[in-house]
Amino acid sequence: MTPDEKMDLESMRTEAMTRQGDIEESEDEIYAASSPKGKFSGKALNVLVDATNRLIPLFGLDDKYDRFSTEMIESLPPEFMRLLSMFSKAMSDAVEEGILPEDATIDMKIVVDDNGLQALAGRLGMAAKSPGFKRFLLRKKSESAPEAEAEADEAPSDEMGPEEMDKLMKERM
């Protein structure tokens, strides 16, 4: 690799990292805007964190969310909202399939105080204990893994000839 090629590669890497940072910043702004507003105590927040940490492993994540300090806050951090949004989507899907009861649906609009946080923590705790929800998540995970592998297998390579490319395009239609 020539020095010019190395510089181009490093420049592309820097640009990609900058773009990724911009995307993450935009996502954080979206999650911050969707965060419930109110007065939340550290104690109630930590009840929610405990429920969140019981649910995190079911989604294949290793890290636990850190507990909050005891001071009051007025909105949830974007990274915490990202987790709650992921949980909300999965729980809504499980409700639609009849795996969780209707009252398991997460409505962030009701979270305006400590009572709302505790109700949310209760819903997360119920989902974390539900054998049906655990099976649901495992099924979803196993369904998405073969799809990703199939897409990777179907990806055209540079070595593919025109006939093989036509065949692949016809299969996709």
Domain range summary for the chain, segments of one domain joined by +: 29-140
CA atoms of 164 and 161, how far apart (whole Å):
5
**Torsions phi, psi of 81, nearest 5?**
-65, -35
> Can you give the pLDDT at residue 170?
55
CA atoms of 150 and 156, how far apart (whole Å):
12
What are 74-121's pLDDT values in tens digits? 988 888 998 999 999 999 999 999 999 998 898 888 899 999 999 999
For residue 62, give Cα distances in angstroms to 3, 58, 141: 40, 10, 16
**Torsions phi, psi of 71, nearest 5?**
-80, 160
- Whether 169 shows a pLDDT value over 90: the answer reads no
What are 22-70's pLDDT values in tens digits? 677 766 676 666 678 889 999 999 999 999 999 999 998 888 999 988 7
